[in-house]
Amino acid sequence: MNTLPLYRQLANHYLDAIRSGTLKTGERLPSIRLMMEKHAVSLSTAVQVCRELEDYGVLEARPRSGNYIRQPDTPTRPVALIQPPPLDTGVYVGIHEHVSTVLKASQQATIKVNLASAYCAPQLYPLKVLQDNMIKALRQDQHLFDTTGSTCGNSALRNVLARRMLTAKTHLTADRIVITHGATEAINLALRAVTQPGDTVAVESPTFYGLLQILESLNLRVLEVAASAHAGIELPALEHLLQGPERIKALIVIPNLHNPLGSIMPDTHKARLVKLCAEHDTVLIEDDTYGDLVDTEQPLSTLKHWDRTDNVIYCASLNKTLAPGLRLGWISAGKWHDRVEMLKHTQTRGCEKLSQLAVSAFMGTPSYERYLRRLRKTLTQQRQHMSAAILRYFPEGTRVTNPRGGTLLWVELPVQHSSMALFQEALNVGIQISPGDIFSNAKRFKNFVRIGCGTPYSPRIDEALQTLGRLLKNQG
């Protein structure tokens, strides 16, 4: 029985048609009037179908002309359009050996060009300011290491973070924030607070392999839900799953500048996702580590913004935006705040004060916004260079995402290519990439590669991409 609302059934119907090529770019979508007639639906339903397709970025409204199919935000060639996977029945893996093997191989190799990192190049980060702030704090206060810090973290930093969130239309009170050792510990605490070992947790597919590792270390069952580069997690697929027999305790989503997809969920999707999870009593864990790297000045909304029932746990990190060597993240756990605070206390106690002081001193000034603006512009250029080079050097049929921010490109190779083989061959010549395989327990992305664009474009990188292209062409 299909329990989706009519307008979503119809939207999915057209999405399938677009994906399969039945409706091609530039073609006109049936008019509202025709839809009402053909599908026997109301005006409001037909309008909702069009909005839905616009949210997915596949529809363009031309004034006085109609709705046309478009390939969203891709200047040169089609974006990687990932087919929704078969719904997994839950993949439980004791230790994510595959990821570990890949990461270990990279550590042992001599790397000349690293295209696997999600970080920016060191010279793009405000490292000097941060180090100077630390020296200043160490000079001014002889009592920095006198006492153990508060379990929840420095109040100065928590205040700065709460104030910044207001611009993302998200109201968090500082005393409900806990500073953590990166987003890793934040997500760890969120999962420990709301699940038991053996519980099932859903994630996007693909998703950041670090999340898969955390889930496995906590003995949680993982269900993968299809996600697309246009709009993130596919809500119909999720809804289907939530209505299924398996109780899903929590869902982890990267709504803004998804790793590796680069997707940004449309606001309508965010609102609907939050509602859906609340209805099914599934805790929604939001990883907003990359949101600040969006191209535009206007901040992206968070899932927490749409949360009316305190069912969203907000997690984020500062080390992608400030410094790779900082271990600072944070969590705002809604109604689970007390439990998260208790778990933080018994897991690592409060974080050391010094980095928190240095960071809050910087984030509290206008220079932080100026720095972010510069960084965003730089990253936009770097992604454009990389994207163009990949399309130039890689085999015919390669497709690249065109995210609206961040450091990551998700590259779909023609289906006969193996990204694991490319990973090994590249490592042999000192180039590091992230093979698609590690972004899913179900190994669904064998012909995908994640390419980091954090480093300013240079002949060295150009040559590395050329080498990758050659290796691929040699694969046949």
Closest separation in Å from C-beta 416 to its own copies: 34
Q: Starting from the edge strand earliest in sequence, which strands make up the sheet with 408-412, in order? A: 399-400, 408-412, 448-452, 434-435
**Least distance between its own copies and beta carbon 190 (Å):** 13
Q: Where are the beta strands (DSSP E) in 88-184?
A: 113-114, 177-180
Query: Which is closer to its own copies, CB of 165 or CB of 328?
Result: 328
Residue nearer to its own copies on the CB measure, 175 or 279? 175
Nearest-approach distance from CB 371 to its own copies, in angstroms: 15
User: By the 8 A CB rule, do 234 and 228 touch?
Assistant: yes
Please report, as ranges, the residues that interact with its own copies according to CB under 8 A: 95, 100, 122, 125, 127-128, 130-131, 134-135, 138-139, 142-149, 180-182, 184-185, 188, 192, 196-197, 210, 213-214, 216-217, 219, 319, 323-327, 342-343, 345-355
Least Cα distance to 206 among 35, 445, 21 occurs for 445
Find the shortest distance in angstroms from Cβ 103 to its own copies.
9
Residue type, 459: P
Instruction: Using the structure block, give the residue that is written with the tokens 């989503």.
Output: 253
Q: How far is the CB of 48 from its own copies (least distance, A)?
A: 41
- At closest approach, how far in Å is the CB of 218 from its own copies? 8
Nearest of 132, 121, 119, 162 to residue 367 by alpha carbon: 132
Query: Which 8-state DSSP code applies to residue 396?
Result: T
Do the beta carbons of residue 183 and residue 315 sit within 8 Å?
Answer: yes
Of 91 and 121, nearer to its own copies (C-beta) is 121
**Between 73 and 199, whose beta carbon lies closer to its own copies?**
199
Q: What are phi and psi of 450, to 5 degrees?
A: -100, 125
State the nearest-atom distance from the C-beta of 420 to its own copies, in Å.
21
CA atoms within 13 A on the CB side of 290: 27
* Distance, CA of 18 to CA of 334 (rounded, Å): 40
Nearer to its own copies, 147 or 298 (CB): 147
Residue placing its CB nearer to its own copies in the complex, 120 or 160: 120
Q: Which residue lies nearer to its own copies by CB, 34 or 95?
A: 95
- Cα of 300 vs its chain's centroid, Å: 13
Q: How many degrees, rounded to 5, is the angle at CA 443 between CA 83 and CA 280? A: 65
Q: Kindly state the helix (H) or strand (E) to which residue 227 belongs, with its residue range.
A: strand 221-228
Concatenate the DSSP letters of all residues of 14-26 into one string: HHHHHHTTSS-TT
